[in-house]
């Protein structure tokens, strides 16, 4: 359990298991609850009750319209109106596990130690302690609004409990000092603390735009604050798989095919 002051969110213990295809195992005391996105459930002990809830279950004091508005905002991030709550209904500790949907890492975020708020990619949330608010964060700057793509509407996790997000490939943290600027592919940003300033910048130069192959825009992050970065955004992986699955690559295995692959950057 935490050594910090009492949390208003449910206080859960956990362990992350695995390397490339991880899952997080959450231990629930009696009447403790974890919430999760649909499709992330892996397994649970007998005695845990599953219940579909409207939104994330954090706005218990809201009226019907408040709950509807809170849950409806999740549609803008491509998520469902509903989440699943897993509650330990029996005496003794019980465990429930949630799995990452693609190869990568699960990142534990203690919101109590992160000033109560984290901004993350809209498809990265996996699960959390009940009481954590899963909302949306609009990036209001002109550059972000017009050209953000993945970065325009992001998820906002608020509260003082544990939350878990997942990311692709290798994941690492970087702390930005006050005024320090990091330029990064928009899809490689997993999450950042609320003190980080986020915007989208145009990649200048006609040759970069036409021949660069890296896209026309990248994100700029200005410190102070902490940033979590992934090496393999799921959008990048999906686009590569689609390109291989929808085009005929008859050249493979031939001399000409090897030369062709050299020209398109794939090597022999």
**What pLDDT was estimated at residue 253?**
45
User: What's the fold here for domain 13-247?
Assistant: Double-stranded beta-helix (3.60.160)
C-alpha 108/C-alpha 115 separation (Å) is 15
Chain centroid to CA 191: how far?
7
More confident residue, 235 or 71: 235
State the pLDDT confidence band at 249, using cuts at 50, 70 and 90: low
C-alpha 2/C-alpha 159 separation (Å) is 15
DSSP letters spanning 64-97: HHHHHHHHHGGGGGT--SEEEEEEE-SSS-EEEE
Please give the model's pTM, rounded to 2 decimal places: 0.78
Domain residue limits, the chain: 13-247
pLDDT digits (tens, 9 = 90+) for 82-115: 889 999 999 999 999 999 888 889 999 999 999 9
pLDDT digits (tens, 9 = 90+) for 106-139: 999 999 999 999 999 888 899 999 999 988 886 6
pLDDT digits (tens, 9 = 90+) for 11-32: 899 999 998 889 999 999 999 9
């Amino acid at each position: 359990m935490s050594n910090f002051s009492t949390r208003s969110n449910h206080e859960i213990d956990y362990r992350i298991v695995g390397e490339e295809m991880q899952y997080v195992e959450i231990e629930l005391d009696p009447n403790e609850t974890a919430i999760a996105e649909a499709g992330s459930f892996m397994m649970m002990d007998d005695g845990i009750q599953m219940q579909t809830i409207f939104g994330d279950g954090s706005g218990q004091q809201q009226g019907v319209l408040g709950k509807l508005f809170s849950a409806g905002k999740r549609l803008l991030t491509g998520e469902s109106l509903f989440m699943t709550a897993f509650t330990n209904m029996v005496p003794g500790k019980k465990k429930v596990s949630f799995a990452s949907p693609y190869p990568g890492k699960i990142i534990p975020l203690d919101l109590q130690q992160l000033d109560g708020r984290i901004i993350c990619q809209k498809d990265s949330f996996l699960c959390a302690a009940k009481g954590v608010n899963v909302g949306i964060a609009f990036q209001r700057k002109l550059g972000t609004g017009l050209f953000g793509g993945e970065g325009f509407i992001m998820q906002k996790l608020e509260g003082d409990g544990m939350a878990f997000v997942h990311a692709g490939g290798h994941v690492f943290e970087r702390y930005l000092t006050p005024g320090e600027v990091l330029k990064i592919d928009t899809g490689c940003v997993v999450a950042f603390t609320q003190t980080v300033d986020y915007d989208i910048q145009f990649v200048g130069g006609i040759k970069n735009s036409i021949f660069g192959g890296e896209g026309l825009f990248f994100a700029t992050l200005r410190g102070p604050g902490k940033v979590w970065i992934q090496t393999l955004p799921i959008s990048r992986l999906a686009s590569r798989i689609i390109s291989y699955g929808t085009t005929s690559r008859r050249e493979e295995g031939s001399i000409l095919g090897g030369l062709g692959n050299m020209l398109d950057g794939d090597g022999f």
